[in-house]
Amino acid sequence: MALRTMAIGSIRFDETLPLYGWQEDVDLAGQLLVKGRVVSADTFQGVHRGVSKGRTPGTKLGYAQVINPVYLVKKGTMCWKKAYILILKNIIANHTRFFLAEPFIDRRGRAKGNWIGLWHILNGKLDPQEINRIK
């Protein structure tokens, strides 16, 4: 992602999305849409240097997979349809691969985090910072 500081002004990544900040790029784009068009260009290329062992433990990532999209909907930077599809896809992937998980993905932890996130939403606790209290 490349941005000109003159174009973004005071818009910044949301520090409420801790750790890996899952979906923070979508949030930033949503904030920028208020200022005008967001475009993509094929003339640039980048490399995502992901590693097989993620930066965020499975349970915490699973939590973020549920909480962050709902938080962004409430914030107004993601639409409900996109959030619903994103959450559902992650929950299905984590639960269908629960018993036959890839060796480099903590599906059990992610599924557990999904359930914690759903429980928090049902109980009116919609704070991405809660991820810091998960063990």
Q: Which two tokens stand for residue 119?
A: 């429980």
Among candidates 24, 33, 25, 34, which has minimal Cα distance to 2?
A: 25
Cα-based distances in Å from 28 to 17, 19, 21, 80, 82: 12, 16, 11, 17, 15
**pLDDT at residue 64, rounded to an integer:** 95
Predicted TM-score of the model (pTM): 0.84
CA atoms within a 13 Å half-sphere pointing along the CA-CB vector of 8: 15
SS in 3 state form for 93-104? HHHHCCCCCCCC
For residue range 72-83, what is the model confidence (pLDDT) as tens digits? 999 999 999 999
pLDDT for residue 87 is more than 90: yes
**pLDDT at residue 101, rounded to an integer:** 78
Q: What is the mean pLDDT of residues 82-110?
A: 92
Among candidates 89, 70, 88, which has minimal Cα distance to 27?
A: 70
**pLDDT at residue 55, rounded to an integer:** 65
3-state secondary structure of 111: helix
For residue range 36-73, what is the model confidence (pLDDT) as tens digits? 887 777 887 777 665 555 567 899 999 999 999 999 99
Distance CA 71, CA 42 (A): 31
How confident is residue 130, by pLDDT bands cut at 50, 70 and 90? very high
**pLDDT at residue 53, rounded to an integer:** 58
pLDDT for residue 99 is more than 60: yes
DSSP 8-state secondary structure symbol assigned to residue 132: G
Is the separation of the CB atoms in 73 and 126 below 8 Å?
no
